[in-house]
Amino acid sequence: MMLLLGLMLVVAVCELRMASAADLSPSQCKEERQLGINACKAVVFGQPASPACCQRIRVSHFECACPAFDAKLAALIDVKKATKLLTDCGRKVPRHFKCGSLYFP
């Protein structure tokens, strides 16, 4: 269960980006999600984010992942941990940011 929660957190975190992803196709979004998961696997196991993970977090688009986060999935993600990971990697989280059913106060 912990692995599943960590993986979901990584997907959520890796897809947060404020740039427009309007030009990305569904297959490009899927590839971007997979790149984020691969770069940030250590985070799933409680390790700090690697430089490669942080770089992926900085360049990923939130529009690719947010629609997938329904209420059931969002309930499994620790928003405080996601926020800490983002800020540790140099990404700012906007106040009152909503990503699917995830809410960042």
> What is the Rg, in whole angstroms, of the alpha carbon atoms belonging to the chain?
12
48-100 per-position pLDDT tens digit: 999 999 999 999 888 887 877 889 989 988 999 989 998 999 988 889 999 89
Q: Which two tokens stand for residue 69?
A: 């986060």
Cα gap 47→51, rounded to integer Å: 12
2-31 per-position pLDDT tens digit: 444 444 555 555 444 444 556 889 999 999
* Letter string b/e over residues 52-77, b meaning 16 or more CB atoms within 10 A of that residue's CB: ebbebbeebbbbbbbebbeeeebeeb
